[in-house]
Amino acid sequence: MNVTNEDVLRALDPMLRERVESILDDMRAMPSLVVAFSGGVDSSVVAALAMLALGDRAHAATAVSETLGARELEEARELAREIGIHHELVAFRELDDPKFVENTPSRCFFCQSMRFDQMQRLAERLGCEVVASGSNASDVGDHRPGLEAMSQRRVYQPLLRHEIDKQGVRAIARALGLSVWDKPAKACLSSRIPHGLEVTEERLRRIERAEDVLEDLDFRIFRVRAHGDHARVELGGEELARALDDHALLRHIAERVRDTGFSQVSLDAVGYRSGSLNPVGRRGAERAS
C-alpha cells in the first residue's frame, strides 16, 4: 500500500469520498489509536486509514484465541506489514468463559466483551485512548450481539458511524491498493458450531482442519458447519456449481474432510449463507459478502 490521501480520494465516488474524509478528520483529532485487526477487509481499511491519518501513532492489534485459525493469524501479520502499521498480538482464552462455551445466541456478546476488554488494556499500555473496530453499515440489522458489546465499551466504529456498507468498504480497500479488497468475509470458528452445542478446543481445531482442506482445494467461499460429528459443507454459489459437476472433486472433499475427524460429511443443497446458524426469525440468512 503506497498512496497519499489525495490518491485515495480521487478514486472514490463523491459520497464515499466525503465519508472517508470524515473518518480521516475523526482520526486526525485523536492523539493515537488502536485498531482491532483481524486481517479482514473491514479492519484493514480502518487500519490503513489510521496510518494515513496518524502515521506511527496508529497501532493494529490482533486478538489471538482458540477461535482464530493459524492461517488467519499469518494473513493478519502479512497484511499489517503490507499496510506498514505497528502490529501487536493480544492473547486471551475464550474457552475460560463458561458463558462463551455454552454457545447460546449471545455467544458473540461474551466473546467481543472479552476481546475488547483486552484491547482496552493494550491501548492503556500503549498510551492510546481510542480503540477502533471494522464494523460496517452492512452489519446492522443482522443478529450481531457483538456490536452491543462494542457499543457498551465505546469502541470507535468509523465505518458504521459514517454509514459505509460492505460494498463501500471494498471500494475503499481497492482504492487504497489493499490486497484483501475482495477477500471473502470469514467469521470466527465458533460460528460453525450450532447454538446449544458447546464450543470446545477439539471441535474448533477439527473445523479449522476441514476448512483448510477446502481452501487447499481452491475454494474461496465456504463454511464447514459442525453438527456434532456431522460436517455440513456450505460452498459459495459458483463454487457449488463447480463441485456438483465434478464427481471426483466431491469424493475428494468427502475423503479429506473425513480425515479431519468427522464421521459424516454432507454438502448443503443451498450453499453458503452468512449467519445460517443464527436463530430462526432474525434477518441475515442470505447476504452477499
Partner 1 sequence: MRHFLTGAPLDEVRRLAMEHGLDVVEAWRHGVMLVLRPRDLGALPDRDALRELADALGGDGVRYVTLSLWDLADECDE
Q: How far apart are CA 77 and CA 62, in angstroms?
A: 9
Report in angstroms how near the CB of residue 254 gets to partner 1 at its nearest.
4
Q: How far apart are CA 108 and CA 259, in angstroms?
A: 30
Report in angstroms how near the CB of residue 242 gets to partner 1 at its nearest.
9
Report in angstroms how near the CB of residue 39 gets to partner 1 at its nearest.
29
Q: How many CA atoms lie within 13 A of 289 on its CB side?
A: 21
The residues with which 223 forms a beta bridge, in sequence order, are 234
Report in angstroms how near the CB of residue 184 gets to partner 1 at its nearest.
18
Report in angstroms how near the CB of residue 232 gets to partner 1 at its nearest.
5
Is 149 in contact with 59 (CB distance < 8 Å)? no
| Using rule CB under 8 A, residue 35 touches partner 1 | no
- Three-class SS state of 64: strand
Q: How far apart are CA 221 and CA 289, in angstroms?
A: 9
Q: How many CB atoms lie within 10 A of CB 124?
A: 12
| Using rule CB under 8 A, residue 287 touches partner 1 | no
Site for partner 1 in 184-243 (CB under 8 A): 194, 227, 230, 232-233, 237, 240-241
| Using rule CB under 8 A, residue 101 touches partner 1 | no
**Residue (of 227, 184, 236) closest to 206 by Cα position:** 227
Q: What sign does the dihedral 243-249-252-256 (CA atoms) show?
A: negative
Report in angstroms how near the CB of residue 162 gets to partner 1 at its nearest.
36
| Using rule CB under 8 A, residue 270 touches partner 1 | yes
- When the beta carbons of 70 and 288 are compared against partner 1, the nearer one is 288
Stretch 148-187: interaction string toward partner 1, x if CB under 8 A: ----------------------------------------
Residue numbers at the binding site for partner 1 (CB under 8 A): 194, 227, 230, 232-233, 237, 240-241, 244, 247, 250-251, 253-255, 257-258, 263-271, 276, 280
